[in-house]
Structure formats: structure tokens, C-alpha cells
Amino acid sequence: MDAEQNQPVSSAEQVEPPRGADPLTLDDKTRLKLPTAFQRYLTGLKETQVFITTIDLRTARIYPLSVWKRNEEILERYRNNPQARQNVQFMAQHYGADSDVDPSGRVVLSPQLRERLGFQPKGKVWLVYSNKAFTLYTDAEYQKQLQLREENLLRDVEVIQRETDFV
């Protein structure tokens, strides 16, 4: 239970998420074999299904199904900007698909997602955990993001250190 809000803590908050960026290769059928740490994370959540989509048209997001269902509920209740809600729902469904995590730890990307984001059979990709889901980058997009972030890293660390106890 969350003592401050007197509500149950979600499973995703109780299970230790994987850390680091994992370089991987899609197989010849464009399936992704999740690294052991990512498989353990899903097992700890008691999740055997994921929803894979994009919400930025640059990266794929692999959501434990319970996390995606929560997103669907949030979108259904969101009333501040109905057009934004409809756009996000439509695009997430267009590019998205449920995928079982098979016994070998593999998941399948939808054909429209693979085509839009440029995921290729035997292509190098990067997998990173962030915000209760996994982000999957093509190698080109990951290198672009890496370069962008490297340029500002020292400044950003200094800002955070000034404002927090970050060491």
C-alpha cells in the first residue's frame, strides 16, 4: 500500500526494472528477442502479453499489457483536448498490436510499425526501459538521440546537481 495515498502500489512499481541500453538484432522474421533482464521484469509483473506501438513516430514502445490498458483508460477519460485524444488513440491502434511473449522471449512487431519506423530483418536495434515500458530504437534513431544528448550532458548534469543531491 502507498501510505501517503492509501492506495495499492501497482505491480510495475514493485518489480525492479532493467537498466541500461541493450543493442540487439531483429531476427530474419523481424521478431525481437527480449534480453533476460527484460523477460525477468515481465515475469515479475506476471505479464505474458505486451502491446507494441509508437506514440512519437520515431520509436516503438513495448508496453506490458496492464500498462497499456491503463493508458487506454486515461485516454478514454481525457476530455481537455478531444482531438488530441482521438489522434493518439487512432495512431496507437493503427501502428500497434498485441504480442505474446513466446517461450523464447520473442515478441512480434506489426508490419505497419516495422515499415513506418524502418525496422529491418537482421537490423540492429536498441532497447531501453523508461516510464513503465520499453523503448525500441532503430540504430539510426538511437545514434541520433545519443549525439543530441551527448552535446548537452555536462550542462544538464550541472543543472541537476545544483538543484538536487544527485552525485
Q: Are 9 and 2 in contact (CB under 8 A)?
A: yes
Q: Residue 42 above 90 pLDDT?
A: yes
Give, rounded to a whole angstrom, the gap between the first and last alpha carbons of the chain. 30
Residue 1's pLDDT band (cuts 50, 70, 90): very low
List of residues 6+ apart from 112 with CB closer than 8 A: 94, 95
pLDDT, position 15: 86
Residue showing cell 517461450: 103
Backbone dihedral angles phi then psi of residue 33, each to the nearest 5 degrees: -90, 115
Query: Could you read off the pLDDT of 45-85 as tens digits, one per residue?
Result: 999 999 999 999 999 999 999 999 999 999 999 999 999 99
pTM exceeds 0.85 for this model? yes
pLDDT at 13: 58
What pLDDT score was predicted for residue 105?
96
With a cut of 90, say whether residue 7 has pLDDT above it. Answer: no
pLDDT-derived band at 14 (thresholds 50, 70, 90) equals confident
Q: Is a pLDDT exceeding 50 seen at residue 4?
A: no
Please choose, from the candidates 95, 97, 73, the residue with its C-alpha nearest in 3D space to the C-alpha of residue 85: 73
- Using only C-alpha atoms, what is the Rg of the chain? 17
Residue 87, CA atoms < 13 Å, CB-side half-sphere = 7
Give the mean model confidence (pLDDT) for residues 14-19.
Answer: 90
Q: What is the pLDDT of residues 95-147, one digit of tens each?
A: 999 999 999 999 999 999 999 999 999 999 999 999 999 999 999 999 999 99
Can you give the residue ranges of every domain in the chain? Answer: 11-138
DSSP one-letter string for 3-19: TTTTBPPPHHHHSPPP-
Tell which CATH classification among 3.40.1550.20, 3.30.9.90, 3.40.190.10, 3.40.50.720 matches the domain 11-138: 3.40.1550.20
* pLDDT at 12 (0 to 100): 53
**Cα gap 76→26, rounded to integer Å:** 34
